[in-house]
Amino acid sequence: MARAPLRAYIPSMVFPPFDPAPPPFRRRFKAIPVRTLLPNLITLLALCAGLTAIRLSVEDKLELALAAIVFAALLDGIDGRIARMLKGTSRFGAELDSLADFVNFGVAPALILYFWGLHELKSAGWIVALVFAICAGLRLARFNVMIDDPNKPIWAGNFFTGIPAPAGAITVLLPIYVAFLGAPTGLVMVWLTFFYTLLIALLMVSRLPVFSGKRVGKRVPPEMVLPVFVMVVLFFAMLVSYPWQVLTVGTLAYLGCLPLGWLSYREHQRKDAVAAATTEHSSGQPIRDQGEDRPARLN
């Protein structure tokens, strides 16, 4: 009886010429340019200053706490400009900036005022501190929503709606500046601080048009370069040498300029209304009275 022939198997025929279990695909992220990191680092530095101000206020080191708030406000004023100059703006940076502003200019000033004098009013002082912090958060949320409004005219970019959070933080601390200048700090001063804090909180969430200053300083004439340098150095020298006098005068000047912003905004609205009326007259279409579409009862 003949034997069946043995079958010889070649290993290359059993296993295919490729790896049966390739390594998992790893997604490679693009490297982030440094120009987008620098503004976020400045924002984080401002956040550290705000948190440090809270700690210093707890330790009753109010002078250093106020210095930290001013330092955070200065950093907040330059991080956005640096991001726009370096073309490093991002959605992440905008959200981080809003969160940092809430801590630096909402929570920190409220706690500083409470530990300074509002704690003497007990629950009433804590309530007004809460109101200020909440109004700061609402103000920042409204700003994030309104920033992408397509129906907003071009000139409206020169105005904020309500007092911005950094200016509100510097402004609401005016009673402490005055106290460091030698004003009495009795119970009457504490109650004045109560109502003043409530007023600034309401102005932050109000519809009051306020000059933004975002478009100021983008171009400097050649003949004004040296005077600008001198003025900036002089300002910081006076701020370091006479901090409470400079902050008090600056706060009062800012509050005095609020009606000017409202008048300028109304003037822009009047010019737009006149331009719209002129355009409708030139097109030959009759201007429809707004009362025609209203119900008879409202008329």
Whether the predicted pLDDT of 23 surpasses 50: yes
Whole-angstrom distance, CA of residue 86 vs CA of residue 212: 21
pTM (2 d.p.): 0.78
pLDDT value of position 100: 92
Length of the chain: 299
Tens digits of residue pLDDT in 173-195: 999 999 999 888 889 999 999 99
Whole-angstrom distance, CA of residue 218 vs CA of residue 226: 16
The dihedrals phi and psi of 149, each to the nearest 5 degrees, come to: -70, 115
Tens digits of residue pLDDT in 133-170: 999 999 998 888 877 666 677 777 678 888 999 999 99
Q: Which residue has the higher pLDDT, 282 or 128?
A: 128
Tokens of 136: 């700061």
Whether the predicted pLDDT of 296 surpasses 90: no
Whole-angstrom distance, CA of residue 206 vs CA of residue 14: 78
Would you tell me how many other CB atoms lie within 10 Å of the CB of residue 201? Answer: 26
Tens digits of residue pLDDT in 238-289: 999 999 999 999 999 999 988 888 888 788 778 878 877 777 666 655 545 4
Whole-angstrom distance, CA of residue 57 vs CA of residue 103: 14
Tokens of 82: 């640096």
Whole-angstrom distance, CA of residue 98 vs CA of residue 104: 10
Whether the predicted pLDDT of 78 surpasses 60: yes
Tokens of 270: 């009047």
Whole-angstrom distance, CA of residue 108 vs CA of residue 83: 25
Whole-angstrom distance, CA of residue 5 vs CA of residue 120: 105
pLDDT value of position 7: 55
CA atoms within 13 A on the CB side of 35: 9
Would you tell me how many other CB atoms lie within 10 Å of the CB of residue 161? Answer: 19
Tokens of 219: 């171009």
Whole-angstrom distance, CA of residue 188 vs CA of residue 194: 10
Whole-angstrom distance, CA of residue 129 vs CA of residue 66: 16
Closest CA to 158 of 60, 267, 237: 267
Q: Which amino acid is at 74?
A: L
Tokens of 25: 């695909």
Mean pLDDT calculated for residue range 8-24: 54
Whether the predicted pLDDT of 71 surpasses 50: yes
Would you tell me how many other CB atoms lie within 10 Å of the CB of residue 241? Answer: 9
Closest CA to 248 of 233, 234, 256: 256
pLDDT value of position 291: 45
Tokens of 295: 């119900």
